[in-house]
Amino acid sequence: MVDENNLRDHAFDGIQEYDNNLPAWWVWSFVGCIIWAVFYGFHYHWIGTGKIGLDALAEENRIAREIQIAMSGGELSEEMLQELSHDAGRIEAGKAIYVKANCAMCHGADAYGNVGPNLRDNHWLHGSDMTMIVVSIRDGRNNNQMPAQGHLLAPNDIYNLAAYLADLNRNTPKVDNKTSSGKVPEGDITPITY
């Protein structure tokens, strides 16, 4: 309802305005937005319990990968495996699996080789792509010289271990495709470039 007595004194281009109160729904919507903004700021910016931007995208991609792994029945494409080899969480989990699965017994505590080959140089007996690393871990190689781990480790653990080995290899300095220490290189030169 418009009160004719609430006309403002000023006029612009011959137009006068009424001085009415804002509708209650509008005022409460405005107050609600302010309260929401305070909680939003605390949750996403000041306390940091929420994820936004690239952090949120990375988390969504991680969840999507986990769903894809679960739905794939254990078989992943080379591209997917290469992407997993850059996931810091998987690399850390793979490091723990390296110890748990007694890989150090044959490959050494730092994977420079012992009875088994050096996993840190650019020489690979069966190829350096992620699919071949996963197959080597899962199915074993060379008439059980590399024992199969598929019956001991879940597919996700095998992917984590492969991600750890790929990351370890990528981050090891090499001269002429060899490491400064460790077992003498075996196999073909196939550096990890992904």
Structural domain boundaries of the chain?
A: 4-46, 53-189
Other C-beta atoms closer than 10 Å to the C-beta of 156 total 16
What CATH number is given for 53-189 in this structure?
Answer: 1.10.760.10
Give, in degrees to the nearest 5, the angle at Cα 122 between 119 and 125: 65
Instruction: Give 175's strand partners.
Output: 178
CA–CA separation, 86 vs 93, rounded Å?
12
What are 101-146's pLDDT values in tens digits? 999 999 999 999 999 999 999 999 999 999 999 999 999 998 878 9
Using alpha carbons, list the distances in angstroms from residue 111 to 34, 77, 164: 56, 26, 11
Structure tokens at 192: 């990890």
- On the question of pLDDT at 78 being above 80, the answer is yes
Q: Summarize pLDDT for 37-67 with one digit per residue, the tens.
A: 999 999 988 998 888 889 889 888 878 877 7
Answer yes or no: are the C-beta atoms of 69 and 62 closer than 8 Å.
Answer: no
Q: Of 105, 169, 115, which is closest to residue 142 (Cα–Cα)?
A: 115
- Per DSSP (E only), the strands in the chain are 7-12, 15-18, 123-124, 188-189
- pLDDT digits 0-9 by tens, 134-183: 999 999 998 878 999 999 998 889 999 999 999 999 999 998 889 988 89
Asked whether 82 and 151 are in contact (CB, 8 A), the reply is no
The helix/strand/coil state of 12 is strand
Give the residue among 152, 139, 156, 140 at the shortest CA–CA distance from 80: 156
What's this model's pTM, rounded to 2 decimal places? 0.68
Give the model's pLDDT for residue 134: 94
